[in-house]
């Protein structure tokens, strides 16, 4: 099947292109009775939209979301929800000179080989503008999970280029994240990151970095054995985001250099007692496992890292070839982010919410 859908019981299908008429998503499987309006979704889209600060693309889109089905009298009906935002500031002419050549590190070449045709207007379906649909769907999952379980999604930037932030996971809160232009709650590091991004933009270049995902108050027991482990599905979700080149979970690659005696999360005795039918939730001294054991959530904080490459569209001259294989030079024009990370934070939150929502529904279906 074409890979335009994600999830099992809570399933989304996105549609639309960067410079087409609109971007949208169909959300299937949302439980009935959830209070929902455009006002519940728009704030997340505003965190992702272009033109929101001096360090993002100059493209101006309000990304105003419209609910076209699945909601009646302010409540979800249990039927498919269709969400759509119209493209208002598309400039396809900016890309016309690119239609017969391949941009380095873009999907131009592979789309052409796979389909025999490609939408050269801002990468078409391969554009990160498609993530608008994911964020809209994720906002629904976030609201449901917040009401049912108090789940929080607090993704934040921890690195841009070679600048690293020093952030205590236990002290992160939403206001500190959004107080930063780059969405890094370490003010000192944030200021340096902003300066670096501004410098890179002036040079006509781009820079990458790392976002750390953080999910709090996740119910115990989410995740399926073997192939649908919770970290495995989170990994697939994150690696499906444009420009993502790496994912690690919990201690991640750092854990490979530790000994078991240091890495093991030892259990702490509880004053409460469970039963054979219902064991008591127990804490651990550390959380190197990242909030899961055997791929199943423990109730502790889930955390992971997502590595983003530098944006491929840069203003510096590059060598490339035409569709016929002829050598040529390329300077990419148009409006592009010098660093995708500030706008990618809500995308990481959204994809995490979609995974947790789907597994929450699967867990309830099996264990209710």
Q: What percent of the chain has pLDDT over 70?
A: 95
- pLDDT per residue over 186-241, tens digit each? 999 999 999 999 999 999 999 999 999 999 999 999 999 999 999 999 999 999 99
Confidence of residue 171 (pLDDT cuts 50, 70, 90): very high
Confidence of residue 123 (pLDDT cuts 50, 70, 90): confident
Q: Who has greater pLDDT, 66 or 51?
A: 66
One DSSP character per residue, 225-263 reads: SGGG-HHHHHHHHHHTSTTEEEEEETTGGGGGGS-HHHH
Confidence of residue 273 (pLDDT cuts 50, 70, 90): low
Q: How many residues does the chain have?
A: 368
**Rounded-to-integer distance, Cα 198 and Cα 136, Å:** 29
E strands in 139-220: 152-153, 156-160, 163-164, 209-216
What predicted TM-score, i.e. pTM, was given to this entire model? 0.95
Q: What percent of the chain has pLDDT over 90?
A: 79
Q: Who has greater pLDDT, 248 or 58?
A: 248
The confidence score (pLDDT) of residue 275 equals: 64
The confidence score (pLDDT) of residue 88 equals: 82
Confidence of residue 1 (pLDDT cuts 50, 70, 90): low
> Is residue 214 a contact partner of residue 169, using CB atoms and an 8 Å limit?
yes
E strands in 115-257: 152-153, 156-160, 163-164, 209-216, 244-249
CATH, domain range 5-268+279-367: 3.60.150.10
**What value does the mean pLDDT take over residues 270-284?**
71
The separation between the first and the last C-alpha atoms of the chain, rounded to the nearest angstrom, is: 31
Mean pLDDT of the chain: 93
Q: Who has greater pLDDT, 230 or 269?
A: 230
The confidence score (pLDDT) of residue 276 equals: 59
Across 107-111, 247-251, 346-350, least confident range: 107-111
The confidence score (pLDDT) of residue 236 equals: 98
> Is residue 303 a contact partner of residue 212, using CB atoms and an 8 Å limit?
yes
State the Cα torsion 62-212-184-335 to the nearest 10°. -40
The confidence score (pLDDT) of residue 144 equals: 98
**What value does the mean pLDDT take over residues 130-148?**
97
Confidence of residue 141 (pLDDT cuts 50, 70, 90): very high
């Amino acid at each position: 099947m074409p890979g335009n859908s994600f999830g099992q019981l809570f399933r989304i299908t996105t549609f639309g292109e960067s410079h087409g008429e609109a971007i949208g998503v169909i959300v299937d499987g949302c439980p009935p009775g959830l209070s929902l309006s455009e006002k519940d979704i728009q704030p997340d889209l505003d965190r992702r939209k272009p033109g929101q600060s001096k360090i993002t693309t100059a493209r101006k889109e309000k990304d105003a979301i419209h609910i076209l089905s699945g909601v009646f009298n302010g409540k979800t009906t249990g039927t498919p929800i269709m969400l759509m935002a119209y493209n208002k500031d598309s400039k396809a002419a900016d890309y016309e000179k690119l239609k017969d050549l391949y941009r380095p590190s873009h999907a131009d070449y592979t789309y052409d080989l796979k389909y025999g045709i490609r939408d050269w207007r801002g990468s078409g379906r391969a554009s990160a503008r498609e993530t608008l649909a994911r964020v809209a769907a994720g906002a629904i999952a976030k609201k449901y999970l917040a009401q049912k379980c108090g789940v929080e999604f607090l993704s934040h930037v921890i690195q841009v280029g070679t600048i690293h932030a020093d952030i205590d996971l236990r002290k992160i809160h939403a206001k500190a994240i959004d107080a930063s232009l780059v969405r890094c709650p370490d003010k000192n590091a944030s200021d340096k990151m902003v300066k670096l991004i501004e410098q890179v933009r002036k040079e006509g270049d781009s820079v990458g970095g790392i976002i750390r995902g953080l999910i709090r108050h996740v119910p115990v027991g989410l995740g399926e054995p073997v192939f649908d482990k919770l970290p495995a599905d989170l990994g697939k979700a994150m690696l499906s985001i444009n420009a993502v080149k790496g994912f690690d979970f919990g201690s991640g690659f750092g854990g490979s250099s530790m000994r078991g005696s240091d890495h093991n999360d030892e259990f702490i005795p509880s004053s409460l007692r469970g039963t054979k039918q219902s064991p008591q939730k127990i804490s651990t001294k550390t959380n190197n496992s990242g909030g899961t054991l055997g791929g199943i959530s423990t109730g502790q904080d889930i955390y992971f890292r997502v590595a983003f490459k530098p944006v491929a569209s840069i203003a510096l001259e590059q060598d490339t070839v035409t569709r016929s294989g002829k050598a040529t030079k390329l300077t990419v024009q148009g409006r592009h982010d010098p660093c995708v990370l500030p706008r990618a934070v809500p995308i990481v939150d959204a994809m995490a919410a979609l995974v947790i929502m789907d597994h929450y529904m699967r867990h309830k279906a099996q264990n209710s």
